[in-house]
Amino acid sequence: MLILGIETSCDDTAASVVREGREMLSGVISSQDRFHRKYGGVVPEIASRRHLETVNLIIDEALECAGCSFDDIDAIAVTQGPGLVGSLLIGIMTAKALAYVYSKPLVAVNHLEGHIFSSLIGRPELEPPFLSLIVSGGHSDLIWVNDYCDYEVMGRTRDDAAGEAFDKVAKYFNLGYPGGPVIDRMAKEGNPEAIIFPRAKMKDNRLDFSFSGIKTAVVNYVRNTSAAGKNRGIKQKKGKPEVIEIKDKKLMADILASFQNTVVGMLLDNTLAAAEIKNTKTIVIGGGVAANSCLRRKFREAAEKEGLKLYYPEISLCTDNAAMIACAGYYRIKKRKPGQCLALTARANLPVT
């Protein structure tokens, strides 16, 4: 079975052809980073306009790279939500039009479900049940995957997502957008133990996360610590948030490495606690932050110590892509989950369960 996946939930326009759910024949992604960079985050109106300009070209290229045409495609899978409603609608309307014109079944996929299954691509041995940690710009969720299409949310963020914390800290230091990759790179020169930032702990559900306080902790450190205070240059244009420049490169790297280490520590602790509750040995990580080198190292070390099997998507499949949507769509079809009719519409807050 060949599935064409289409993903436009945020700022990446992506299409992919996947065979039998796990073999990626093509994966084409058009990143909009350069259009959003100067605003320090995704501008929804720009995102939907760019999707509209590129989506058909990206789909054509995905088919061409896979060496097939619409005649060979068995079904179209598209992201229904969660995401930016204007962005989602471009993918959905395109998928609907194609499904109608070429008489193909249309499958709606939850974007988080896609991230959960991104690790399955190229890995025939990986099957549920397993514990999934989704860490992206919009989500930080611990999901028990009992079976395909059968999920239980064990923990989630109460405020910011982990990737959002990376993006906000990067914005504060004027390091560019998206913040995760640049912090990951700069933190390599720093000492992760140099600064102890406080960790948020939830009283009612210890598996929930909170990342909004960590940016404030970084800001307070810069404001209140003499080492950072002497080193900082504040640029503030009227009516704009302050932007800090730390001139001492080593200090900057220490702050970023310590911030990253704290975020990863929180993710690791809750993941290990959830794995213990479910008595599982298999942990599957997905989402943009799964590309983080500190996260990969710390999770690998913990897995070796605890005898856990750890799966990540390859780096190019950590961030948003359409192969994961095609993969999730394949299992929706296999599980005979209701096929979507042409009345399908975008749902900005679509829950995974």
Which token pair is 302?
């913990």
Which does residue 291 bind out of Zn ion, ligand KG4, none, counting CB within 5 to 8 angstroms by kind? Answer: ligand KG4
Each residue 182-221 as x (binds ligand KG4 by CB under 6 A) or -, in order, gives --x-------------------------------------
Let me know if 251 is exposed, middle or buried by CB neighbors in 10 A (0-12, 13-18, 19+): buried
Q: Can you give the three-state secondary structure of 72-103, one letter per residue?
A: HCCEEEEEEECCCHHHHHHHHHHHHHHHHHHC
Q: Does 352 bind ligand KG4 (CB under 6 A)?
A: no
Which residues are paired to 18 by β-bridges? 3, 24
Q: Is 7 near Zn ion (CB under 5 A)?
A: no
Stretches 163-171, 190-198, 234-242, 301-309: which one binds ligand KG4 (CB under 6 A)?
A: 163-171
Residues 132, 136, 261, 262: which binds Zn ion (CB under 5 A)? Answer: 136
* 88's tokens: 């989602």
Is 167 a residue that touches ligand KG4 (CB under 6 A)?
Answer: yes
Q: Does 166 bind ligand KG4 (CB under 6 A)?
A: yes
Contact 76, 107 (CB under 8 A): yes
**x/- track of binding to ligand KG4 for residues 318-337 (CB under 6 A):** -xx-----------------
Enumerate the β-bridge partners of residue 13. 30
145 binds, among Zn ion, ligand KG4, none (CB under 5 to 8 A by kind): none
Which of residues 258 and 319 has its CB atom nearest to Zn ion in the complex?
A: 319
Whether the CB-CB separation of 173 and 252 falls below 8 Å is answered with: yes
Nearer to ligand KG4 by Cβ, of 155 and 181: the residue is: 181
Per-residue binder mask for ligand KG4 (CB under 6 A), 46-85, x = binder: ----------------------------------------
- Residues 6 or more apart whose Cβ sits within 8 Å of residue 60: none
CA angle in degrees (0–180, nearest 5) for 157-204-282: 60
Which residues face 140 on adjacent strands?
Answer: 135
Residues 128, 320, 332, 340: which binds Zn ion (CB under 5 A)?
A: 320
Is position 86 an interface residue for ligand KG4 (rule: CB under 6 A)? no
Contact partners, residue 237, CB within 8 Å, separation at least 6? none
- Which phi and psi angles does 40 have, rounded to 5°? 70, 15
Give the torsion sign (CA, 114, 201, 164, 169). negative
Shortest Cβ 342–ligand KG4 spacing (Å): 26
Does 260 sit near Zn ion (CB under 5 A)?
no
| Contact with ligand KG4 (CB under 6 A) among 5, 81, 128, 178 | 178
Cβ proximity to Zn ion: between 227 and 348 the closer is: 348
Q: Alpha-carbon distance 89 to 140, whole Å?
A: 24
Q: Judged by CB under 6 A, how many residues of this single chain contact ligand KG4?
A: 19
Q: Considering CB distances under 5 to 8 angstroms, the limit depending on partner class, which of Zn ion, ligand KG4, none binds residue 179?
A: ligand KG4
Query: Minimum distance between the CB of residue 31 and Zn ion, rounded to whole angstroms?
Result: 13
Nearest-angstrom CA–CA distance, 36 and 167: 12
Select from 109, 121, 272, 291 the one that contacts ligand KG4 (CB under 6 A): 291
Q: In angstroms, what is the minimal distance from the CB of 265 to ligand KG4?
A: 14
Considering only 6, 10, 99, 143, the residue that binds ligand KG4 (CB under 6 A) is 10
Strand 23-31 and strand 12-19: pairing?
antiparallel
Using CB under 5 A as the binding rule, whether residue 167 contacts Zn ion is answered as no
Strands, E, within 203-351: which ranges? 232-235, 243-246, 282-286, 309-311
| Contact residues: ligand KG4, CB under 6 A | 10, 136-138, 163, 166-167, 178-181, 184, 287-289, 291-292, 319-320
